[in-house]
Structure 1
Amino acid sequence: MAAVDLSVTVTLAIFAASLVLPKACGNSDGDALSSLRRSLSDPDKVLESWDPNLVTPCTWFHVTCNKDSRVTRLDLGNSNLSGHLVPELGKLEHLEYLELYRNNIQGSIPSELGKLKKLISLDLYNNNISGKIPPSLGNLKSLVFLRLNDNQLTGPIPRTLASVSSLKVVDVSNNNLCGPIPTTGSFEHVPLHNFENNPRLEGPELQGLASYDTNCS
């Protein structure tokens, strides 16, 4: 009987400890950033402080959180990182600034970034990102800065971006985009040099143009 009582006591003690000890990546933001870290090569060890055993990522270098311990900034520009972006970034629902410029990031822009409804700045310029600009970025109704220049992007400039009224700065120069340049909505005042060095762009779209050239891909 005493052995049974001891077993029950040990089980209860382990259960109680599990309630108070930190859990690895205790929130979705930590999980998302840990996924990003696993996808990146980090020769300069700028992500060395990203310990997945902490309850939140708020003490990690290059990460800023709000008072509720939700990630609002990711500052990893010019950090000699390579690898690719991950769809889990779309889970950072309080993220306002995603700064990954001047690295060697490859692959495509995940369409899941269109879920970042509070995003103000998306800076992915000076990488080796390829594929198309996701039309889902048109869902970013708080976006002010979109800098995708100096990559290997293809396809058209999504017309969905023209409806983002907050968008003030757009730079997609030095890519391989195609089709016409939008001129309505948020694109009305974007200078043409922010589209330069895209040999397949056809120039400003004609007013009333209903769709892109179907050969643009």
Structure 2
Amino acid sequence: MKSLVLKTLPKQKDVGEEGPESVALLKWKASLDNQSQSLLSSWVAGSNHCKWIGIGCNKASRVTHIDLESYSLRGMLSDLNFSSFPHLLSLQLFNNSLYGSIPSNIGSLRRLTCLSVPANHLSGTIPSEIGQFV
């Protein structure tokens, strides 16, 4: 008697189901002040994060660029879960009102080739983890 082997396919995302990048971006947006949140009005749960303002993606819909220069965003970088962005190449946050320090977990952005955060209100030292980028 032959046995029947069933293979399970990887789970497909349901329409509206959020991936880790969308969840991280929405959580960061929620941590920003109300005016900043209104500036990111296209960042809506259930919509395609690759079409959100300031977000660039590769063909696999993975976030590769976050470009929010001069958006007057007010909040902290520590509220952005950097480990949710393994494909991020560029983080452009020049000329905003970000404050606090640059968190050490920014070192999880192993593919990052461009980081632009001047003209903010950041304090503290630059984490040594930034030097671990490849």
Tell me if TM exceeds 0.5: yes
Deviation readout 1:109-154 (Å, 9 max, x if unpaired): 111111111101000000000122111111111xxxxxxxxxxxxx
Structure 2: runs of 5+ lacking an equivalent: 1-12
What are the residue-to-residue correspondences of 1:159-178 with 2, within 5 Å? none
Deviation readout 1:44-97 (Å, 9 max, x if unpaired): 63200001223x411111100000000011111111111111250232110111
TM-score of the superposed pair, with normalisation by structure 2: 0.82
Shift of 1:42: 5.2
Structure 2 counterpart of 1:28? 20
Structure 1 counterpart of 2:114? 121
Calculate percent identity across the aligned residue pairs.
34
Structure 1 counterpart of 2:87? 94
Between Structure 1 and Structure 2, the one with more strand by share is 1
**Using CA pairs below 8 Å that are at least 6 residues apart, which structure has the higher relative contact order?**
2
TM-score of the superposed pair, with normalisation by structure 1: 0.52
Between stretches 82-91 and 36-45, larger displacement belongs to 36-45
Structure 2 counterpart of 1:61? 53
RMSD between superposed Cα atoms in Å: 1.6
Structure 2 counterpart of 1:52? 45
Shift of 1:31: 1.3
Structure 1: runs of 5+ lacking an equivalent: 1-18, 142-217
Q: What is the aligned length?
A: 120
Q: Which consecutive segments of 4 or more residues in structure 1 shift more than 6 A?
A: none
- Aligned-partner Cα distance in 2 for 1:95–1:61: 16
Structure with the greater alpha carbon radius of gyration? 1
